[in-house]
Amino acid sequence: MDETASYPPIEPSNFDLIVVGTGLPEAILAAAASAAGKSVLHLDPNPSYGSHYASLPLQEFTSYIESQSSDSSPISRPDTDSGYTRVGIATRPMYSSVEITSYSAEPLEQSRKFNIDLSGPRVLMCADAMIDLILKSEVNQYMEFKGIDGSFISDGEGNLENVPDSRSAIFKDRKLSFTEKNQLMRFFKLVQGHLEAAAGGGGGEQSSESRSISEQDLESPFSEFLSKMGLSPKLKSIVLYAIAMADYDQENRDVGKSVLKTKDGINRLALYHSSVGRFPNAPGAMIYPIYGQGELPQAFCRRAAVKGCIYVLRMPVNSLLMDKASGSCKGVCLASEQELFSHKLILAPSFAVQSPFPHSSPDTRDFRLRNTTEKLARSICISKHSLKLDVANCLIFFPPRSLFPEQVAAIHVLQLSSNVAVCPSGMFLTYLSAICEDDDQGKKLLHAAINVLFQAPVSGSSANNNSAENQSETGDARPALLWSVLYTQELAKQFQDVLDNIICTPMPDGSPYYHDLLGATEKIFQELYSGEEFFPKSTSSEEGAGQELED
Amino acid sequence: MPSRRRTLLKVIILGDSGVGKTSLMNQYVNKKFSNQYKATIGADFLTKEVQFEDRLFTLQIWDTAGQERFQSLGVAFYRGADCCVLVYDVNSMKSFENLNNWREEFLIQASPSDPENFPFVVLGNKVDVDGGNSRVVSEKKARAWCASKGNIPYFETSAKEGTNVEEAFQCIAKNALKSGEEEEIYLPDTIDVAASSQQRTGGCEC
The mean pLDDT of A259-269, rounded to a whole number, is 94
Global pTM value:
0.91
Quote the CA–CA distance of A459 and A472 in Å, as a whole number. Answer: 11
Contact at CB, B41 and A544, closer than 8 angstroms? no
Q: Where are the domains of chain A?
A: 2-93+292-370+494-542, 166-198+211-275
Contact at CB, A312 and B70, closer than 8 angstroms? yes
Query: In angstroms, what separates the C-alpha of A404 from chain B's closest C-alpha?
Result: 34
CATH class of A166-198+211-275: mainly alpha
Chain A residues whose CB is inside 8 A of the B98 CB are: none
Q: How many CB atoms lie within 10 A of CB A527?
A: 13
Amino acid A7: pLDDT? 82
Amino acid A470: pLDDT? 41
Q: What percentage of chain A carries pLDDT values higher than 70?
A: 83
Alpha helices, DSSP H, located in A398-485: 439-453
Candidate from B22, B190, B202 with C-beta closest to A545 = B22
Residue B23: CATH number of its domain: 3.40.50.300
- In chain A, % helix, strand, coil (3-state, to 5) comes to 30, 20, 45
Query: In angstroms, what separates the C-alpha of A53 from chain B's closest C-alpha?
Result: 14
**Binning pLDDT at 50, 70 and 90, where does residue A358 land?**
very low
Quote the CA–CA distance of B20 and B17 in Å, as a whole number. Answer: 8
- Return the C-alpha torsion angle A233, A237, A240, A243, nearest 10: -130
Contact at CB, B38 and A421, closer than 8 angstroms? no
**B67 within some domain:** yes
Candidate from A135, A419, A546 with C-beta closest to B186 = A419
**Binning pLDDT at 50, 70 and 90, where does residue B179 land?**
confident
**B38 within some domain:** yes
Quote the CA–CA distance of A318 and A504 in Å, as a whole number. Answer: 17
Domain holding B40, by residue range, is: 4-177
Nearest Cα neighbor of A88 from A79, A98, A100 is: A79
Secondary element (H or E) of residue B147: helix B139-148
Chain B residues whose CB is inside 8 A of the A26 CB are: none
Contact at CB, A549 and B111, closer than 8 angstroms? no
The mean pLDDT of A476-505, rounded to a whole number, is 81
pLDDT(B15) > 70 = yes
Pairing assessment for the beta strands A95-102 and A84-91 based on DSSP bridges? unpaired
Query: HSE (CB half, 13 Å, CA atoms) of B33?
Result: 15
Report how many domains make up chain B: 1
Average confidence score pLDDT of chain B: 87
What is the phi/psi pair of residue B205, to 5°? -90, -20
**Binning pLDDT at 50, 70 and 90, where does residue B36 land?**
confident
**B18 within some domain:** yes
pLDDT(A205) > 60 = no
Q: What percentage of chain B carries pLDDT values higher than 90?
A: 68
pLDDT(A204) > 60 = no
- Residue A73 carries which DSSP code? P
> For the ranges A329-343, A387-401, A465-479, B32-46, which has the lowest average pLDDT?
A465-479
**Can you tell me whether residue B191 is helix, strand or coil?**
strand
Average confidence score pLDDT of chain A: 86
- Residue B188 carries which DSSP code? T
The answer for residues whose C-beta is within 8 angstroms of residue A412's C-beta and 6 or more apart is A121, A245, A395, A396, A397, A432, A433, A434, A510, A512
**B190 within some domain:** no
Task: Return the ∠ at Cα B123 (arms to B121 and B124), rounded to 5°.
Answer: 150
**Contact at 8 Å (CB) between A109 and A57?**
no
Q: Mapped to the 3 state alphabet, what secondary structure does A247-307 carry?
A: CECCCCHHHCCCCCEHHHHHHHHHHHHHHCCCCCCCCCCEEEECCCCCHHHHHHHHHHHHC
> For the ranges A172-176, A179-183, B22-26, which has the lowest average pLDDT?
A172-176
Amino acid B193: pLDDT? 85
pLDDT(A475) > 70 = no
**B171 within some domain:** yes
Alpha helices, DSSP H, located in A101-172: 106-109, 129-136, 167-172
Strand intervals (E) in B141-186: 154-156
**Contact at 8 Å (CB) between A342 and A14?**
yes
Chain B residues whose CB is inside 8 A of the A188 CB are: 204, 206
User: How many angstroms separate the Cα of A486 from the Cα of each of A21, A118, A125, A439, A473?
Assistant: 24, 12, 26, 10, 26
CATH architecture entry for A2-93+292-370+494-542: 3-Layer(bba) Sandwich (3.50)
Candidate from B29, B190, B192 with C-beta closest to A290 = B190
Contact at CB, B25 and A170, closer than 8 angstroms? no
Nearest Cα neighbor of A242 from A150, A137, A157, A107 is: A150
What ipTM was reported for this prediction? 0.90
Candidate from A142, A313, A549 with C-beta closest to B72 = A313
**Contact at 8 Å (CB) between A498 and A109?**
no
Radius of gyration of chain B (CA): 18
User: How many angstroms separate the Cα of A421 from the Cα of each of A290, A386, A426?
Assistant: 6, 15, 11
Candidate from A270, A276, A306 with C-beta closest to B65 = A306
pLDDT digits (tens, 9 = 90+) for B53-98: 788 889 999 999 999 999 999 999 999 899 999 999 999 999 999 9
Chain B residues whose CB is inside 8 A of the A420 CB are: 186
Chain B residues whose CB is inside 8 A of the A185 CB are: 206
**B165 within some domain:** yes
**Binning pLDDT at 50, 70 and 90, where does residue A92 land?**
confident
**B187 within some domain:** no
Radius of gyration of chain A (CA): 25
Question: Which of B60, B193, B196, B200 to mutate against chain A (most A CBs within 10 Å)?
Answer: B193
Nearest Cα neighbor of B25 from A303, A142, A547, A545 is: A545
Chain A residues whose CB is inside 8 A of the B34 CB are: 549-551
**Binning pLDDT at 50, 70 and 90, where does residue B194 land?**
confident
